Amino acid sequence: MSAIFVRRSDQTFMEWIHFSTYNDTNDQLARICMISWVLWNNRNNVVWHQKGLDPEELVKSATLSLNQWRIAQDKTFDNYLGFMTIVDGNEHWHLPPEGTIKVNTDAAFFAESNTYAPAMVARDHTGSLLEAKTAGKHGHIDPMMAEALSIREALSWIKFKSSRKVIVETDCLAVVQVLRCSSIHLSYLGRIISECQGFLKDLHSYDVRVNFVKRSANKVAHILARNSSSIAERSWVKGDVLPHYFHVLSDDLKIQ
């Protein structure tokens, strides 16, 4: 990857970008754009929050984000790319097997209020709501970190509930890839990932899996997160769900 970032010392950044536009491949241009975007976000985090990633973490974040974006756009979706399995990449929500709970997770971000909201929705093999949880939290954090936090909350809930067979689904491919990787990550995101891996290790006697799905298969958790900016912390159980979520829950069952 480093070869695409070689430029002459007398070139400005804009001259280099202009040259790359006409001389590099589409793949190289995509990498340049993603790394530039990650660098800009990191610069803003350093300026406004005095927090930043080291170069290795920046390149890793850019690579994972680009891979996630490509797969999200790709209708052919190669299940074996980047720690993927045959069960990943579903475009529609499906009922879990009998005796199994499915927990969908997501996170939303609200720049105007400087908040983010992780959310989780647990349903049984009939599609009935068991519990939904969300919490509006103050702070500006990396999207991957917020997605990882929502998975961590779901795994904590699973451990507390002592559910034996659980499928956790998220539409954040990058987090799923990192969770399945054995590498040690030293960033704050890495610590959250390590905590998730610790939960999964503690649940080794259970049947708990974390899978990647498309956004269209994660609608309930997504909408719940998007509507949670002003809620400090709240949970719903069966029979207690707000009326405007009923149609979203029922839509998932129509495709069964």
Shortest CA distance to 124 belongs to which of 237, 227, 233, 203? 237
Asked if 172 and 72 touch (Cβ cutoff 8 Å), the reply is no
Question: What stretches in the chain show pLDDT beneath 70?
Answer: 1-10, 68-83, 162-163, 182-187, 229-232, 239-250, 253-256
- 106 forms bridges with which residues in the sheet? 119
Residue position matching structure tokens 């029922």: 250
pLDDT digits (tens, 9 = 90+) for 24-49: 778 888 888 888 888 888 888 888 87
Q: In 10 A of CB 164, how many CB atoms?
A: 14
b (16+ CB within 10 A) / e for 40-51: ebbeebeeeeee
Strands 101-110 and 165-170: parallel
Q: Specify the pLDDT at position 244.
A: 60
Domain extents in the chain? 2-73, 101-254
- Contact criterion met (CB below 8 Å) for 217 and 169: yes
3-state secondary structure of 18: helix
pLDDT of residue 106: 95
Among 164, 40, 45, 151, which residue's Cα sits nearest to residue 103?
Answer: 151
Looking at residue 187, its pLDDT comes to: 65
**Pair 157, 102: CB distance under 8 Å:** no
The answer to whether 93 and 104 are in contact (CB under 8 A) is yes
Q: What is the DSSP string of 86-136?
A: TT--BSS--PPPTT-EEEEEEEEEETTTTEEEEEEEEE-TT--EEEEEE--
User: CA torsion 203→256→240→137, rounded to 10°?
Assistant: 60
> Which 8-state DSSP code applies to residue 239?
T
Q: Per CATH, the architecture of 101-254 is what?
A: 2-Layer Sandwich (3.30)
Query: Distance (Å, rounded) from C-alpha 191 to C-alpha 57?
Result: 13
Q: Are 81 and 94 in contact (CB under 8 A)?
A: no
Which pLDDT belongs to residue 73? 58
The pLDDT value recorded for residue 55 is: 81
Determine whether 248 is exposed, middle or buried from the number of CB atoms within 10 Å of its CB (0-12, 13-18, 19+). middle
- What does the pLDDT read at residue 80? 46
Residues 6+ away with beta carbon under 8 Å from 232: 135, 136
* Whole-Å CA distances, 107 to 13, 17, 115, 123, 230: 34, 33, 11, 18, 14
